[in-house]
């Protein structure tokens, strides 16, 4: 790489009209390398089946509230069928003021519509329940 230092007979006050693009090219190459490295990490192109549940021991306490949703979408408080979502909200509001607040555990049937479980979650939110858990069964051993 060369440098124009000028000659002794040139005028020292002459304006140099050429733009030095070397720093610009260096910055652009660094940005290009950064983008080439980060783009594959951001995009997910490999289809994978993520785990459906975690193996966690469930601590059963007598104050925990178990709400079940059957295949037809009916909602049950322990074993008592709830008439509608408003009755569930009223009952949950009475429980939400207890200290410490009990945990609500939702048991949803595998073939139940999402609407039934969604109504229970919405009722918990409206009542001010702080901790909601889902009860699942672990997969069969060996497969």
Domain boundaries, the chain: 65-134
Backbone angles phi, psi at 106, to 5 degrees: -105, 125
| pLDDT over threshold 70, residue 60 | no
Q: Does domain 65-134 have CATH number 3.40.50.10860?
A: no
Q: Which of 1-5, 60-64, 91-95, 116-120 has the lowest mean pLDDT?
A: 1-5
Identify the pLDDT of residue 35: 83
Count the helices and strands in the chain (H runs, E runs): 3, 5
Rg value, the chain, Cα: 33
| More confident: 140 or 27 | 27
Identify the pLDDT of residue 117: 87
Question: Hey, what are 82's tokens?
Answer: 């709830």
pLDDT in tens, 27-53: 999 999 988 887 766 554 445 454 466
């Amino acid at each position: 790489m060369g440098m124009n230092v000028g000659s002794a007979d040139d005028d020292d006050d002459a304006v140099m009209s050429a733009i030095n693009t070397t720093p610009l090219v260096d910055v652009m190459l660094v940005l290009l390398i950064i983008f080439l490295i980060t783009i594959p990490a951001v995009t997910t192109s490999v289809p994978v089946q993520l785990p459906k549940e975690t193996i966690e021991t469930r601590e059963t306490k007598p104050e925990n509230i178990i709400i079940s949703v059957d295949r037809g979408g009916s909602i049950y408080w322990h074993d008592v069928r709830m008439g509608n979502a408003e009755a569930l909200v009223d009952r949950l509001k009475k429980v939400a003021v207890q200290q410490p607040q009990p945990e609500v555990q939702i048991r949803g049937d595998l073939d139940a519509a999402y609407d039934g479980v969604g109504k229970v979650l919405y009722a918990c939110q409206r009542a001010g329940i702080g901790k909601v858990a889902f009860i699942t069964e672990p997969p069969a051993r060996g497969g």
